[in-house]
Every structure is written in structure tokens, then in C-alpha cells.
Structure 1
Amino acid sequence: MSDQHWRQQAACAGMDPRAFFSIGHHARAQVNAARRVCATCPVRQQCADFAIGVGEANGVWGGMSQKQLRERRRRFTSRAKTSTRAAA
């Protein structure tokens, strides 16, 4: 599935992207609202994989909060380093 194709299939297609980037006093409510949209998304996994692949550090992607993205990216990076060492 091409990069543009999965984005067109996303539950958030056409929504204001700011809805997925929380700020201020209502950040938790914004994150929860964004995650509810993601929960209905047919391309949630592609979105998460994209965000991790490009090193996205902000916003809700694939239903994951910024903290969850960082944790998953660390695991992904750690696995990649282990795979590289094993291949050498």
C-alpha cells in the first residue's frame, strides 16, 4: 500500500490535523479524542508504522500517544541494532 493510499483510507482523512497534536490545559482530552478516532481506523497499523519509521515525535499516530510512540520507536531501534549486529 503506497504512502498516499493508506492516508486516503484513514479515519482522520479530511480532519484538521491539529486535532491530533495536543497542547495546553486540555491536552489529555485532545489525546483521548484523537485516540477514539484512531480506534475506528482501518489503517491504524500503517499509520503507526509510518510515524515510527520517520521518527515522528509529536501527536497521536495509529492510536498511540507521544509516550507510546517513543517507547515503540526505542524497541524498534533496539531490534534493528540487534539484527545488524547479528548479521555482521
Structure 2
Amino acid sequence: MIPNLDWLADAACAGMDSRAFFATGHHARAQVNAARRVCKTCPVQPHCRDWAIQTGEYWGVWGGMSQLELRRKRRRFTSSARTGTRAAA
């Protein structure tokens, strides 16, 4: 099944260099904060975040969430999927 990614066209980051969302080096925290500022203005932020969690994106800022935040959220998502319960967002 091919996922519906139509929301990508409406993303605030559409057309931006994707490297802006994958922080590296000594200025990683500043890069993450800059990426989050873009995400904050994005009309499809929830779609992006949910897609990243469900597909297991491991690196980068997605839907305004850092790598660490995504991993934590993913653990809750996969844990609730295994038990059949829904974790609080």
C-alpha cells in the first residue's frame, strides 16, 4: 500500500534544503531550534510528526520534534500498538 503523502506539498519546508532538518556538529542545537521554528509555522505539522513516528524515522527534526522526542513518542506508539491501548499524546 502506497501512503498518501499529498500533505508534503503544503509543508512549510517544501523546497528547502533538507539538511536544515538534520543537525550535525558543534551547532546542532541551534540547527534543531531553527528547524523547529520552520515547523512551528507549518500547516501540516501533525501529519509530518505522525508519519515520522509511524515509519520509524530515526534522524532529523520531523513535525517540530527532535530525534529524542520522536524516539520517545515512537516507544509509546509502538507500546500501545502491541497492547491494543492508546497512549496519551
- Fold agreement, TM-score > 0.5: yes
Letter in 1 for 2:32: V
CA offset at residue 53 of structure 1? 1.0
CA offset at residue 43 of structure 1? 0.2
Letter in 2 for 1:74: R
CA offset at residue 49 of structure 1? 0.6
DSSP 3-state at the match of 2:84:
helix
Letter in 2 for 1:10: A
Residue 29 of structure 1: aligned partner: 30
C-alpha distance in 2 between matches for 1:33 and 1:73: 23
1:79 corresponds to 2:83: no
C-alpha distance in 2 between matches for 1:28 and 1:8: 27
Letter in 1 for 2:55: V
Residue 57 of structure 2: aligned partner: 56
Equivalenced residue count is: 83
Question: What TM-score, normalized to structure 2?
Answer: 0.90
Question: What TM-score, normalized to structure 1?
Answer: 0.91
In structure 1, stretches of 5+ residues that fail to align are: none
CA offset at residue 67 of structure 1? 0.3
Letter in 2 for 1:17: S
1:27-80: CA deviation from partner (whole Å, max 9, x where unpaired): 000000000000000000000011011100000000000000000000000100
| Greater fraction helix | 1
Question: Aligned-pair RMSD on alpha carbons?
Answer: 1.4
In structure 2, stretches of 5+ residues that fail to align are: none
C-alpha distance in 2 between matches for 1:55 and 1:33: 23
Residue 65 of structure 1: aligned partner: 66
